[in-house]
């Protein structure tokens, strides 16, 4: 088989869905995984009406056996994995009034961090065989603590540490590890939080179309990630605000704390 194989968790929406198109355009065979069968079927039928074949596997990355099943299904159909993208994720906004919500912390760590760990556990032997790319869709919040996102930041710092460690561990085995420090991107991620949790005190415009419009598009973010895979980069950090935040945090951390407190809401 000539085509390379990519697996994208959370490939049914936002950045994952846009990544799907990038890899299809580059002649990859694509497998996507997420929880909603209905949305997976919709993506499959949209793509098949354009003449593209795609494998969809209903998966909850919080469930170890689902992650195993995802990898098994891909290997059964295609026999190999060249790129595995840990993209499935959720966010949360903790207002000062709400305080720290332990249940939410567990849910977010389970999805963003343990989802990555579990999927990687099953994909890794195949990536080592193909000398392929292990990708994490992380966040600026995984490099710098952002206000009112302690659960989200913790999950992305954890994911960052996990993938950074694997990169060094398998340095001489041909494994490529790409960590993508994504900045604000217009997707459903914040709208979902707002719709699900109506009592929280959200900052003005949170998850609303008008604010999302000022953000990078999912297609642009996906293009940066795709190019990072192609060039076997260590990391990509698509937004200029994200770049600035991380560099200011390294050079002038106290100033960055003040700016982050003011502007990251």
Ligand X SMILES: NC(=O)c1ccc[n+]([C@@H]2O[C@H](COP(=O)([O-])OP(=O)(O)OC[C@H]3O[C@@H](n4cnc5c(N)ncnc54)[C@H](OP(=O)(O)O)[C@@H]3O)[C@@H](O)[C@H]2O)c1
**Which segment (47-55, 73-81, 110-118, 250-258) binds ligand X by CB under 6 A?**
110-118
**Token representation of residue 99:** 């305080």
Q: Sort 237 into a burial class: Cβ within 10 Å, 0-12 / 13-18 / 19+.
A: buried
Cβ-based nearer residue to ligand X, 139 or 245? 139
Structure-token match 């249940």, residue found? 103
* Nearest residue to 181 (alpha-carbon basis) of 229, 225, 116: 225
CB-nearer residue toward ligand X: 160 or 256: 160
Binding mask 55-94 for ligand X (x = CB under 6 A): ----xxxx------------------------xxxxx---
Look at the chain and count its residues.
265
Among residues 9, 148, 153, 249, the one that binds ligand X under rule CB under 6 A: 9
Stretch 167-186 residues interacting with ligand X (CB under 6 A): 182, 184-185
Residues touching ligand X: how many (CB under 6 A)?
32
- Applying CB under 6 A, which part among 5-13, 46-54, 70-78, 119-127 lies near ligand X? 5-13
- 10 touches ligand X by CB under 6 A: yes
Q: What angle do CA 118, 63, 184 make, to 5 degrees?
A: 70
Least separation in angstroms between CB 43 and ligand X: 9
Segment interacting with ligand X, rule: CB under 6 A, options 72-80, 94-102, 109-117, 202-210: 109-117
Considering 93, 122, 152, 184, which one is annotated as catalytic? 152
For residue 139, state whether it binds ligand X (rule: CB under 6 A): yes
Identify whether 184 is a catalytic site residue: no
Backbone angles phi, psi at 134, to 5 degrees: -105, 120
105 interacts with ligand X by CB under 6 A: no
Q: Buried b / exposed e across 214-231, counting CB within 10 Å, b at 16+? A: ebbbbeebbbbbbebbee
In angstroms, give the least distance from the CB of 250 to ligand X. 19
Tokens of 72: 């098994």
Q: How many helices (H) and strands (E) does the chain have?
A: 11, 9
Q: Select from 5, 7, 12, 132 the one that contacts ligand X (CB under 6 A).
A: 12
Q: Which residues neighbour 72 within 8 Å (Cβ) at sequence distance 6 or greater?
A: 122
- Neighbour count for residue 244 (Cβ, 10 Å): 14
State whether residue 262 is helix, strand or coil: helix
**In whole angstroms, how large is the CA radius of gyration of the chain?**
18
Residues 196-255 that bind ligand X (CB under 6 A): none
Residue 188 lies near ligand X (rule: CB under 6 A):
yes
Residues belonging to the active site? 152
List of residues contacting ligand X (CB under 6 A): 9-10, 12-16, 34-36, 39, 59-62, 87-91, 111-112, 115, 137, 139, 182, 184-185, 187-189, 192
């Amino acid at each position: 088989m000539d085509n390379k194989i990519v697996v994208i968790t959370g490939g049914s929406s936002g950045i994952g869905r846009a990544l799907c198109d990038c890899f299809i355009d580059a002649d990859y065979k694509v497998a996507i995984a997420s929880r909603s069968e209905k949305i997976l079927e919709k993506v499959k039928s949209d793509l098949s009406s354009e003449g593209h074949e795609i494998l969809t596997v209903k998966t909850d990355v919080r469930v170890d056996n689902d992650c195993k099943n995802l990898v098994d299904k891909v290997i059964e159909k295609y026999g190999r994995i060249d790129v595995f993208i840990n993209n499935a994720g959720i966010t949360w906004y903790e207002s000062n009034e709400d305080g720290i919500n332990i249940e939410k912390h567990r849910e977010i760590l389970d999805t963003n961090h343990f989802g990555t760990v579990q999927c990687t556990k099953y994909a890794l032997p195949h990536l080592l065989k193909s000398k392929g790319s292990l990708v994490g869709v992380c966040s600026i919040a995984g490099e710098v603590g952002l206000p009112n996102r302690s659960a989200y930041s913790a999950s992305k710092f954890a994911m960052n540490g996990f993938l950074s460690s694997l990169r060094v561990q398998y340095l001489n085995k041909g494994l490529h590890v790409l960590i993508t420090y994504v900045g604000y991107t217009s997707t459903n991620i914040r709208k979902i939080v707002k719709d699900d949790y109506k009592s929280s005190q959200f900052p003005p415009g949170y998850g609303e179309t008008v604010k999302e419009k000022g953000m990078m598009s999912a297609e642009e973010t996906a293009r940066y990630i795709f190019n990072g895979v192609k060039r076997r980069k260590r990391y990509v950090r698509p937004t200029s605000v994200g770049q600035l935040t991380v560099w200011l945090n390294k050079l002038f951390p106290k100033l960055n704390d003040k700016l982050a407190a003011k502007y990251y809401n």
